[in-house]
Structure formats: structure tokens, C-alpha cells
Chains A and B, each alone.
Chain A
């Protein structure tokens, strides 16, 4: 018997019991849809983060007072508070003159908040930070209007400001902000550049900030310690050897701090990998839960398919008898029922994918972009097909081993 005939037979049998087939597949459809939706959501979320991280600037590393490990628990924080010294311009010079694998090296101070005014307009709690001119290059800042700082403005602690799009729009609603004067904590600054609007990342606005030259920041906001903590940022000469560049910086810092082998770093280095690594760790757990739970729905769906196939075999005992009398071999009957189970399950899988795709479109429209993962689709459909085989093999075997004489006697 040709395969196409078996396939036609399966389709006809499923179609003959449309409602029953649909109800049978409900569990399978929900399971597949859930798996695909969750995977698509996570994929979308991942891509979103990757994109935003890519947006934040070129691949760079940041050396600061505290490392990621230092925030493990309260004891670690307390220990790091005692052990880790603030970084300063001397550390920067030390590294700058010795690093061989690093391309650009800059420094900055962490933001503190300030009130910004222009005429009658006031914005409270705007994060203000300071950076060297080169940080504009390192972070590949997107200048909408005007320019970033020059070295000379940093060295002379000039009162110039590079502002986010929100700040510019709020204070200069009808004119260009570039060249305009703003008041920060009572001092007047000239706006030299406006950043391109970036929108929000996880609901945090990215366009509400003011950046000053680092030395201006230090002079007018105070020493670069505690919340204004000094940090150093660098890029590798070659992104392929990024990790080596980071390692070199770390070793130099250890030498500078006089750390012995085996001693813990008393400073911290952040890399994009650390952030994505952290994310992967977090999503890893979500992934497992999100795939295992619908996976249970799939297994239950498979059991339902097996049950309905057993019912089908019992109902169609007479048909099996007729087919056998007319020359159907065991494997013909086995194939007929197995293919029917697989086709049934595959329809469930495909429907689940379709529903997931529709849900994904809705989520994309209202929330974040999702990506229908090809892998999720392939896995969902092959798993449902596999469940079809697993669920169909026993009923099909049962059907194929029926005695034709007894089967013909059934009503």
C-alpha cells in the first residue's frame, strides 16, 4: 500500500470525526502554543536586550570600585567597602601608559542628581555625570545636534554640557538647545550637544541626562568618590582579543594595587559578557520552567491522543476485519493507524504554532517585539509528531494484530 493512500486514509478518518479530533487535540494545541509563545517571548526579550546593549555603545569594559561579586550579600558589600579603594586619575594614567591591547581608554564619574533650570522651566532629579572627551568615542554616542566635548574643554573644566533629548526638548521647546545656557545647581552651562533620543529600556527613560566634562563635574559637584565614584572605561584594539585586553587591564590593576597571586581583586571589571551572562543565567531558569510546564501539557495531550486512538481501533474493528479480509497485511493496518495518530498530532502541533504566531503578533504590537523561533517551531512540531508515534504505536499494533475472523464478527 502506497504511503499517499495511507495519508489520504488518515485525513479522511480525522475529517470524519471533526469535533472529536479537535477536542482530542486541545491539550496538544495548548501545549505547543505555550512552548512556542514562551520561547518566542524569551527570544524577543533576548534580542531586545542585545539590541539595547549594542545601542549603549561599542564593546567596552569598565573598571570601577566594586565588582559584580561584591554585591553577592551584605557581608561581601561590607568587606568590599573596607577593601576596595576608589579609583582616581593616577590609576587612569598608570593604565593608559602601560596597556598594549587597549585601544581607547577614558574615565568618568558616576551620576548624581541635580535640578536643571532655564528661565521658568525646571527639571528636578536629572542624573548628571562627567566623562572625558574620549568617552564619547568609546560609547559611540549618537549626537543629534552639536557635538560632544573636546579634550581642551575637559582639561580646562569648561562649563559646557551635553544633554539628553528629553532635557533639550523640555528646556528648549521651540528652539535649538545647542548654544543655549542652562542652570545646573545654580551655575550656568552652555549646551554644546544634544543626544539622539533612545526611548526607554525596560521603562527606564534613556534621554533624561546631562553629561559634563569630567573635570568640570569634579570641580562643581565634588570629589569623584562614593556616588560620584571614578571609573575607567576602555575598548580593545581588536574585538577578537577583547577578553585578552580585559585581562591585561585586570593584571595591571592587580600590580598597581600590589595584590598577591590568589588574592581577590579589590576593584571590579564589567564587560558586556557579564551582563548577557547574567541574563542567560536568569532566563535559563525561566526557560526550563517555561518549557517543562507546557511539556507536561504535551505529554497529557499525547495520552489523550492515545486514548482516542484506542477508542478508534475498537470502534473500527469491523472495518479492520474487512480490510484484512480484502488483503490488508499487518503492516498496512499498523501504518494506517500510526499515520492517523501522527497526522492528528501534527495537525495539533501546526495549529499550536499558528496560535503562537498570532499571539506573538499581538505581543509584538502592544509590548515588545517577539520572534517566532524556527527552532521552537521545529521542536514543537517534531515533539508533537513524536508524541503521535508514541501514542499511536500501541493502538496501531493492537489493530494490526486483530484476528480477521473475529474482527469481521464485530458490529
Chain B
């Protein structure tokens, strides 16, 4: 064991929050986030000191070219990964210090994911796919059915509940995924290139749905490289070389 004498207090760094003002009011609060991958000799800094807040009810787009650190940032926001350095709060909870199981719990409660490739379970019906987050939330089977049905009808898929993903069109699949994302009433809807696998007509349909969900009070973050999609948001953060290049309100 190390002797106590060898432990020295760390100097206060920029971005550190003191204990008494620790919990920020914003829904998402990132402070000096670094993500470093050890690859061979040279460490790769995917994110270099990113800080920003997202308020409840915001509609935010994160844009950037591939390799900009945008995907890394999305994984961090989605609590799929933890930063190498810095602090991240979501809904007042400090997730940057959490272990795998605590992160799983946060993903389940606070975040609704919408992926580019939908990521539905191929063998399961639309209804079962939407129920999935509720299963891990420990909701009883009757409640689950009820809530999943409601979520599906809110995306106008009441008549497709017993269909499997391969019996649905791309737009319908994405709407199932959105229903799944919403079913747990998360604090944040996090979409990663949500229209990347859809034709332009269906893309517009999905983006209109996002607009409606925003109008209903949901907080939405869309990660994309398409300016068209980003322009639907009310605020755009542009990432380049692991840093925030631009953060502007556009509406």
C-alpha cells in the first residue's frame, strides 16, 4: 500500500467544478471532454477538450466530416462510452465516472437511440422491438404491451405491430426504432444519421416526425454529416479535429 504522504492534492484545472456547485442545471453538460485512444506509439486524440451544455427542449444537430470526432462524441453523449478526461452530466447525473452497469441504466432511463441502420432485432415483431427497453427497465408484461402499442401508434404504425422488420419499409423500420427510442420517455432522443439509409422522400417524412416530437417537448440531438438534415435543427455544433469549431443558434 502507498503511504498517505505520497498522495498530493491535484491542482485545480480549467473546467473543474467545485463540490458545492457540482450539479449543473442543463440537461447535458460536458466539461473539457477528452477521448484518447492508445493506438501504437502515438496516442490518438479523438476529442480535445470539448465543453458545451444542452438545455431541455433543445433541438441540436452535431455536424462534422468523418474523422472529426463526431461519432466519438455521439458515443459519449449516448453513454455507450466514457471520456478519458473531463466530466459529463446528464440530467444532473455525473456519468463520466460510472461503470458499465450504471451506464446501461442511464441509457435505459435517459436516452432513446435512433440509429442509421435502425438496429432492430430481425426475428422480433415491431411490438417486441419497441418493448425491449421496457423489459430491461423491469416493467411488467401487461404495462409493456400497453406502452409499446401507444408508442407505435404515436408514429402511425398501429397496423404494423405484428410485422417483423423484413416485412416493413425503411421508413417504417425507422419509425419503429423511433417508437422504441420514445417508449421509455427518455430525457434525450439521440439520433445518429437517422436518414442515412433512407431515400429523400422518406427522409423528409422522418425529419418531419422529429420536428413534431420536438414540438411535443422532446430534447433531440441529431448527429449527421448532411447539411440539409442539420438545417432542420435549432442549434448546430460543428466538430472538426476533435474540437468544437462552431456552435450557433440558427433558429
Q: How many A-B residue pairs have CB under 8 A?
A: 59
- The reply to whether B121 and A328 contact each other, CB–CB distance below 8 Å, is no
- The reply to whether A325 and B107 contact each other, CB–CB distance below 8 Å, is yes
Interface: A367 (CB within 8 A): no
Residue of A nearest to B78 (CB): A325
User: What CA separation (Å) do A408 and B118 show in the bound complex?
Assistant: 11
Residue of B nearest to A327 (CB): B108
Chain A residue contacts of B135, Cβ below 8 A: 1, 5
Residue of A nearest to B128 (CB): A12
B59 to nearest A CB, angstroms?
22
User: What CA separation (Å) do A12 and B115 show in the bound complex?
Assistant: 25
- The reply to whether B136 and A318 contact each other, CB–CB distance below 8 Å, is no
User: What CA separation (Å) do A257 and B1 show in the bound complex?
Assistant: 82
Interface: B234 (CB within 8 A): no
Binds A, one of B10-18, B98-106, B208-216, B224-232: B98-106
- The reply to whether B108 and A326 contact each other, CB–CB distance below 8 Å, is yes
Residue of A nearest to B129 (CB): A322
Chain A residue contacts of B133, Cβ below 8 A: 326-327
User: What CA separation (Å) do A212 and B132 show in the bound complex?
Assistant: 86
Chain A residue contacts of B22, Cβ below 8 A: none
How many chain A residues touch the partner (CB < 8 A)? 22
- The reply to whether A322 and B138 contact each other, CB–CB distance below 8 Å, is no
- The reply to whether A327 and B104 contact each other, CB–CB distance below 8 Å, is yes
Which A residues from 107 to 121 make CB contacts under 8 A with B? none
Residue of A nearest to B109 (CB): A327
| Most-contacted residue by chain A among B120, B136, B138 (CB, 10 A) | B136
Interface: A405 (CB within 8 A): yes
Chain B residue contacts of A331, Cβ below 8 A: 101
User: What CA separation (Å) do A405 and B75 show in the bound complex?
Assistant: 8
Chain A residue contacts of B184, Cβ below 8 A: 327
- The reply to whether B113 and A325 contact each other, CB–CB distance below 8 Å, is yes
B74 to nearest A CB, angstroms?
10
Contact A405/B81 with A326-B107, A326-B136, A327-B133 known, Cβ cut-off 8 Å: yes
How many chain B residues touch the partner (CB < 8 A)? 25
- The reply to whether A325 and B119 contact each other, CB–CB distance below 8 Å, is yes
User: What CA separation (Å) do A318 and B180 show in the bound complex?
Assistant: 17
Set A327, A330, A408: member contacting B115, Cβ < 8 A? A408
Interface: B25 (CB within 8 A): no
Chain A residue contacts of B105, Cβ below 8 A: 327, 329
Which A residues from 303 to 327 make CB contacts under 8 A with B? 318-319, 321-327
User: What CA separation (Å) do A329 and B105 show in the bound complex?
Assistant: 7
Interface: A86 (CB within 8 A): no
- The reply to whether A323 and B119 contact each other, CB–CB distance below 8 Å, is no
A143 to nearest B CB, angstroms?
70
Set A323, A325, A332: member contacting B80, Cβ < 8 A? A325
Interface: A2 (CB within 8 A): yes
Residue of B nearest to A318 (CB): B119
Residue of A nearest to B112 (CB): A326
- The reply to whether A327 and B119 contact each other, CB–CB distance below 8 Å, is no
Chain A residue contacts of B104, Cβ below 8 A: 324, 327-330, 332
Interface: A369 (CB within 8 A): no
User: What CA separation (Å) do A408 and B180 show in the bound complex?
Assistant: 16
Interface: B137 (CB within 8 A): yes
Interface: A180 (CB within 8 A): no
Set A1, A318, A323: member contacting B138, Cβ < 8 A? A1
Which B residues from 12 to 38 make CB contacts under 8 A with A? none
- The reply to whether B136 and A405 contact each other, CB–CB distance below 8 Å, is no
- The reply to whether B80 and A404 contact each other, CB–CB distance below 8 Å, is yes
Which A residues from 1 to 44 make CB contacts under 8 A with B? 1-2, 5, 12, 16
- The reply to whether B81 and A328 contact each other, CB–CB distance below 8 Å, is no
B182 to nearest A CB, angstroms?
12
Chain A residue contacts of B121, Cβ below 8 A: 319, 322
- The reply to whether B138 and A329 contact each other, CB–CB distance below 8 Å, is no
User: What CA separation (Å) do A288 and B137 show in the bound complex?
Assistant: 50
- The reply to whether B101 and A330 contact each other, CB–CB distance below 8 Å, is yes
- The reply to whether A16 and B123 contact each other, CB–CB distance below 8 Å, is yes
Contact with A along B116-153 (1 / 0, CB 8 A): 00011101000000001101111000000000000000
User: What CA separation (Å) do A319 and B135 show in the bound complex?
Assistant: 15
Set A16, A328, A408: member contacting B136, Cβ < 8 A? A328
Q: B residues within 8 Å of A by Cβ?
A: 75, 78, 80-81, 100-101, 104-105, 107-109, 113, 115, 119-121, 123, 132-133, 135-138, 180, 184
Q: Which 6 A-B pairs have the closest CB atoms?
A: A327-B108, A327-B136, A329-B101, A329-B104, A326-B133, A322-B119
Q: A residues within 8 Å of B by Cβ?
A: 1-2, 5, 12, 16, 318-319, 321-332, 404-405, 408
